[in-house]
Chains A and B, each alone.
Chain A
């Protein structure tokens, strides 16, 4: 592209070096960097607690820390990872950076709201960190009543406020994306020419807007019940503790899709770019994102099969849970079919995409076990569930996040990273992940309940394997942090399009100038039109 070579404007990274130029920026790309730093910090904190959990579980006796301390570890691991890493991760970093660029816009529709949403996340995060520093919270990330309202004497309200506040960040980001995708597409960028990354973020945004207020209300009610004893959840005051679970999971099941749908969008981009081929069944993949977002709102009761919910409600929730599995199957088959007759290269982003396929497959298939009523009774609240959702959220979402970070890193930073190290780290993550979480499926079926500080001795071998895997996984995550940081300063300069990929983001310089495009691009072809052009790397 000619624009890439003659463009002499400063890149967004060069355009101002003062603190204000970062902290008061309205540039979606700089805000993405602010998010990147913030969520990486929370990933570290959440990861540290994960490490402590695994160290404790190396022995069955519960002899490393007190039970109460252990309970705080897993609570803070969950809160940090879910609300302050996974939910913002791909949308707030990659989405923020890429949604305007991919549709040919100069910025998001509401740049100031975009900056505000980052500040809100930071304030929410500070509340939660404050609760950790003051002594922590021990309710589990789920805040189940009446334990959270009537029994726990830890910092429930402060943590809950952190979650409540950060929810607004999520809502505002979703709102911004929806308006931007509707109103700011470049001429010729029709709905069915949008990259699938955009479809995935559109579906995610719908969930963020419709679901997040409900969890905000639920944690607010927990706070009110704790302070004013209003009697919503406490049976001694005429309340119903199971009502809380309905409110919580009405958001928190769809929230799983907030965490994984953007990852699916990333994978579609990676597979198309490294197979140099249009995604097979584009419309099926696009609409399956919307299908997941829609049906995903009606499956929350599958978290409550043994909660004394009615048998008939359980039946309907089980049925709908099987329906919501189908769009994920459709995506997986279409990604596989895309490889057929492709031109496949094994660069590190694609290695992550392969890893995602394998891990998401296991995570998705074991979801079918949990949707089955008679089987869920046995494995509910055991390590089987823990393994399942880590395969989705860590095996799926984080693999996609890392794959995306590697793919767009040259665009974001203007630098290349060491490819050999990247492949090595991807392998470490894949092996470490499986060794950590596969034994947990076995532990779960054997009956080991989750959130256990000590456990019967016969389960030690599998727990030690899991801890060993976690240490490999931890190193696998540290390596990219090191070489990305190194690359940001010293990496080889990246060309505009190092992969020979389609997509508007590869038509502008790396890193892009503040306004992204010199002139508004005019789109004349479908997404992933690989065969229409002569392949030119850089």
Chain B
């Protein structure tokens, strides 16, 4: 825009300008109808003001043509609004396949982030400009909501689910990140900052953090520590199905139904294994609900995804080797900042 509108937040993502353009359209249409009605009311109120105490109005019977006009024209305009709004929403719900994935966990009252390459952050999120970023959002306790006004995006963090949102930052800088869903005492303190860096600076930032191993590495260690590997063997000889290459594939369930093995499916199969049984296997697996934290769950899923090879978003180079003996996953590790 040619001037800085003080009533519009910074436009720092690709969605920002399309949402704002739509917003200005909505404001214009609303202003038109508001002015139209207020003007008519004012003109009639003055023109037809009561002049004698005993005066009555002149009867005017309804007019079907008028009724149809002010039903159909607003309906048409409403449909334009519906389709325009829906088209932006569709774009927001379809992350591109080359998006860089970052896990987000909301917890009263902080935001925890973990990059696929292992770097952790609390209440601060570093991302490179120009790169689509997909946030995989979970919660450890109650419902929270990731809200970045400068990007015009928001998504609830629902306990027991992984939700996603994505954006492509278009401008370097520091932007507010809020919790938008009321979550108790310090809800308004559950704030963070999104730091958008030039790609080179972002790589330098990644390299500068203490190396704790990628999420997939941490997940692999967990996979062994929790003895997942005893049943889920690579060669399909175990009591559970092989998890190699399972991510993104179509899984046939007992009873013949099929399901795509995505993030939600993997999560459900860990915390509620009886929900969907793979064809040919017995329902033997115990639940891991409460045994793994939200972040450990994310690491396990990252490991399973990595085994499918070429997972999007893992392209950023891993920095260094895993520190020997580093705890597999816990909030006690030093963050990168």
Q: Does B45 contact A (CB under 8 A)?
A: yes
Q: How far is the CB of B314 from chain A (nearest CB, A)?
A: 24
* Chain B residue nearest to A152 in the complex (CB): B184
Q: Is A537 an interface residue (CB 8 A)?
A: yes
CA distance A371 to B30 in the complex (A): 14
A240, B67: Cβ atoms under 8 Å?
Answer: no
Q: Which residues of A contact B152 (CB under 8 A)?
A: 377-378
Residue from B50, B85, B108, B153 having most chain A Cβ neighbours under 10 A: B85
A354-382 interface bits toward B, Cβ cutoff 8 Å, 1 = contact, 0 = none: 10011001100110110111111110111
CB contacts under 8 Å to B, within A210-262, are 235-236, 238, 240-242
Contacts of A445 in B (CB 8 A): 7-9, 23
- CB under 8 Å from chain B, chain A span 185-204: none
Please state if A341 and B60 are interface contacts (CB–CB under 8 Å): yes
Is A235 within 8 A of B70, CB to CB?
A: no
Say whether B237 faces chain A, with CB atoms less than 8 Å apart: no
B93: Cβ under 8 A from any A Cβ = yes
Are B108 and A319 in touch, CB under 8 angstroms?
A: no
Whole-angstrom distance between the Cβ of B176 and the nearest chain A Cβ: 7
- Measured as residues with beta carbon below 8 angstroms from the partner, the interface class of chain A is 35 or more
Smallest beta-carbon distance B4→chain A, Å: 13
B92 contacts A374, C-beta separation under 8 Å: yes
CB of A474 within 8 Å of the partner chain = no
Cα–Cα, bound, A318→B38 (Å):
28
User: Counting CB contacts under 8 A, is A424 at the interface?
Assistant: no
Are A374 and B87 in contact, with the CB atoms below 8 A? yes
- Interface hit among A12-20, A173-181, A307-315, A483-491: A307-315
> Contacts A339-B41, A372-B85, A378-B152 given: A362-B34 contact, CB under 8 Å?
yes
Q: In A307-343, which residues have CB < 8 Å from any B CB? A: 307-308, 311, 314-315, 318-319, 322-323, 325-326, 329-330, 332-334, 336-337, 339-343
Residues of B within 8 A of A337 (CB): 60, 66
CB distance from A63 to the nearest CB of B (A): 13
- Report B-chain residues with C-beta under 8 Å of the C-beta of A523: none
Q: Are A277 and B55 in contact (CB under 8 A)?
A: no
B145 at the interface (CB under 8 A from A): yes
Report the minimal beta-carbon distance from A473 to chain B, rounded to whole angstroms.
Answer: 21
Q: Which residue of B lies closest to A337 (CB)?
A: B66
Count of chain B residues with a beta carbon within 8 Å of a chain A beta carbon:
85
Taken residue by residue from 131 to 162, chain B's Cβ proximity to chain A (1 for < 8 Å, 0 otherwise) reads as: 00000000001110101011011111011110
B75 lies within 8 A of A530 (CB): no
Known: A277-B60, A343-B55, A446-B7. Is A329-B184 also a contact (CB below 8 A)?
Answer: no
Contact with A146, one of B18, B54, B143 (Cβ below 8 angstroms):
B143
Most A C-beta atoms less than 10 A away, residue of B8, B86, B289: B86
B221 at the interface (CB under 8 A from A): no
Contacts known (A337-B66, A345-B50, A366-B30); A147 close to B183, Cβ less than 8 A = yes
Which residue in A276, A447, A536 is a CB contact (below 8 Å) of B147? Answer: A447
**Pick from A358, A381, A535: contact of B55, CB under 8 Å:** A535
Query: How far is it, in angstroms, between the C-alpha of A361 and the C-alpha of B42 when the chains are bound?
Result: 14
Q: Which residue of B lies closest to A378 (CB)?
A: B152
Cβ A67 vs Cβ B154 within 8 A: no
With A319-B82, A374-B22 known as contacts, the answer to whether A342 contacts B59 (CB < 8 A) is no
Q: B180, A381: Cβ atoms under 8 Å?
A: yes
B8 contacts A357, C-beta separation under 8 Å: no
B 66-80 binary contact with A (CB < 8 Å = 1; else 0): 110011001100110
A67 to B186, CA, bound (A): 6
A421 to chain B minimum Cβ distance, whole angstroms, is 22
Please tell me if the beta carbons of B188 and A452 are within 8 angstroms of each other in the complex: yes
For residue A446, which residues in chain B have a CB less than 8 angstroms away from its CB? 7-9, 149
For window 368-398 of A, CB contacts with B under 8 Å fall at 368-369, 371-378, 380-382
Q: List which A266-295 residues lie within 8 A (CB) of chain B.
A: 275-278, 280-284
Q: Which residue of B lies closest to A239 (CB)?
A: B160
What is the CA–CA distance of A306 and B50 in the complex, to the nearest angstrom?
51
CA distance A194 to B74 in the complex (A): 28
Q: Does B62 contact A (CB under 8 A)?
A: yes
Task: Kindly state whether residue B2 has any CB partner on chain A within 8 Å.
Answer: no
Contacts known (A146-B159, A330-B70, A447-B176); A372 close to B57, Cβ less than 8 A:
no
* Distance A283 CA – B61 CA, assembled complex (angstroms): 11
> Please, what's the 1-or-0 string for A431-454, where 1 marks a CB less than 8 Å from any CB in chain B?
000000000001001110111111
Asked whether A344 is an interface residue with its Cβ less than 8 Å from the other chain, the reply is yes
Interface membership of A2, Cβ < 8 A: no
Asked whether, in the complex, the Cβ of A336 is within 8 Å of the Cβ of B145, the reply is no
Are A531 and B58 within 8 A (Cβ)?
yes
Indicate whether A357 sits within 8 Å of B41 (C-beta atoms), given known contacts A330-B67, A345-B50, A455-B188.
yes
Chain A residues within 8 Å of B90, by CB: 311
Q: Which residue of the partner chain A has the closest CB to B150?
A: A447
CB-CB < 8 A to B163: which residues of A? 308
Partner of B56, one of A67, A311, A535: A535
B45 / chain A contacts, CB cutoff of 8 Å: 339, 344, 346, 354
Query: Most chain-A Cβ atoms within 10 A of its Cβ — which of B57, B91, B156?
Result: B57
The CA of A341 and the CA of B59, in the complex, are separated in Å by 8
Given the complex, which residues of B lie within 8 Å of A348, measured CB to CB?
Answer: none
Cβ–Cβ contact A372 & B56, under 8 A: no
Residues on the B chain within 8 Å of A380, using CB: 154, 180
- Asked if B180 and A536 make an inter-chain contact with CB atoms under 8 angstroms apart, the answer reads no
Tell yes or no: B226 within 8 A of A by CB. Answer: no
A342 touches B19 (CB 8 A): no
Q: Are B93 and A311 neighbours in the complex by a CB distance under 8 Å?
A: yes
A-B contact pairs, 6 of them (CB 8 A): A284-B67, A311-B93, A339-B44, A344-B50, A446-B8, A531-B56
A residues sitting closer than 8 Å to B (CB atoms) are 62, 67-68, 71, 138-140, 144, 146-147, 150-152, 235-236, 238, 240-242, 275-278, 280-284, 305-308, 311, 314-315, 318-319, 322-323, 325-326, 329-330, 332-334, 336-337, 339-346, 354, 357-358, 361-362, 365-366, 368-369, 371-378, 380-382, 442, 445-447, 449-456, 500, 530-531, 533-537
Q: Closest 10 CB pairs between A and B?
A: A374-B88, A447-B149, A235-B160, A277-B57, A372-B85, A373-B89, A339-B44, A452-B188, A342-B57, A365-B30
Query: With A318-B86, A380-B180, A449-B147 given, can you name 12 additional A-B contacts, CB distance below 8 Å?
Result: A146-B143, A152-B184, A236-B160, A281-B63, A306-B145, A308-B158, A311-B93, A357-B38, A362-B34, A368-B26, A373-B86, A447-B176
